Structure 1
């Protein structure tokens, strides 16, 4: 009987956790869009964006390039290059894309 009650309680907590939304994320999204620089992507920058979206999103959520400064991005990119097993050319393309968005 206790196991049944615990199972029902766990299911209720799980459903409640999955159903909640963050209103602050929705509120901050328009501000980020308004302040983002309008940089036209060249083919090289578009390739960097594509690499960033496809290589980095395999393991974690993508961060907006404007979330960090160039100085903050540098150690992140170095660390992630090793984890994603990206060569220097691909990493340079991703770095150029991120820097172009700052």
Structure 2
């Protein structure tokens, strides 16, 4: 019985940790100020762990998937996540 409860708790915790809240679904910001902020966040946050990919490396849809994985690792706020996405797609 204990094993079943622990397994259920572990699975629940895993699912919650993998949940994608604050997901970007499309463009929101178009002002030059927000796009500039997105560029700054992209350069400062993403460059900490790896070389920056070219914005043209992915399609708009691929950037949604990539940022959905990477934004939590970079500890981006939902607004920062959106600004980075909008900057990247503005370069495509």
After TM superposition, the structure 1 = structure 2 runs for residues 1-102 of structure 1, keeping only pairs within 5 Å, are: 42-102=32-92
SS of equivalent to 1:72: helix
* TM-score of the aligned structures, taking structure 2 as reference length: 0.64
More helix by share: 1
TM-fit CA distance, 1:78: 0.4
* TM-score of the aligned structures, taking structure 1 as reference length: 0.58
Q: Deviations over 1:74-98 (max 9, x none)?
A: 1110000111111101101101101
SS of equivalent to 2:39: helix
TM-fit CA distance, 1:99: 1.1
Superposition misfits of 4+ residues, deviation over 6 angstroms: none
Instruction: Provide the aligned C-alpha RMSD in A.
Output: 1.2
* Unpaired runs of at least 5, structure 1: 1-40
Query: 2:24 corresponds to which residue?
Result: none
